[in-house]
Amino acid sequence: MTSLKYSIVLFLGLIASCFAQSQVNSFLKPSDTLNKPRLKGVVISETALASAALVGLSQLWYTDYPQSGFHTVDDSSEWLQMDKAGHLFSTYHLGSFGANALKWSGTSRKSQLLYGSTIGFAFMSVVEVFDGNSSQWGFSWSDMAANAAGTGLYVSQELLWKEQRIVPKFSFHTTEYAAMRPNVLGSSISQQILKDYNGQTYWLSANLHSFFKHSKIPKWMNIAVGYGADGMITGRSESTDVFLYPNTQRTRQFYLSLDADLTKINTKSHFLKTFFAVFNSIKIPAPTFEINGLGVVKFHYLYF
Burial 80-105 (b: 16+ CB within 10 A, else e): bbbbbbbbbbbbbbbbbbbbbbbbbb
**First-to-last C-alpha distance (Å) of the chain:** 52
Cα(178)–Cα(172) distance, integer angstroms: 13
Q: Supply the pLDDT for residue 124.
A: 94
Q: Supply the pLDDT for residue 197.
A: 97
Query: Parallel, antiparallel, or unpaired for β 166-172 and 72-73?
Result: unpaired
Average pLDDT over residues 12-28: 59
Residue, of 170 and 240, whose pLDDT is higher:
170
Residues paired with residue 169 on neighbouring β-strands, in sequence order: 203
- Residue pLDDT, tens place only, 68-102: 889 999 999 999 999 999 999 999 999 999 999 99
Residue 268 has pLDDT above 80, yes or no: yes
Average pLDDT over residues 128-152: 94
Cα(135)–Cα(69) distance, integer angstroms: 8
pTM: 0.90
Query: Parallel, antiparallel, or unpaired for β 166-172 and 200-207?
Result: antiparallel
> How many other β-carbons are positioned within 10 Å of the β-carbon of residue 54?
14
Q: Residue 21 — very low, low, confident or very high, per pLDDT cuts 50/70/90?
A: low
Among residues 30, 49, 168, 43, the alpha carbon closest in space to that of 100 is found at 30
Query: Parallel, antiparallel, or unpaired for β 72-73 and 139-140?
Result: parallel
Q: Residue 243 — very low, low, confident or very high, per pLDDT cuts 50/70/90?
A: low
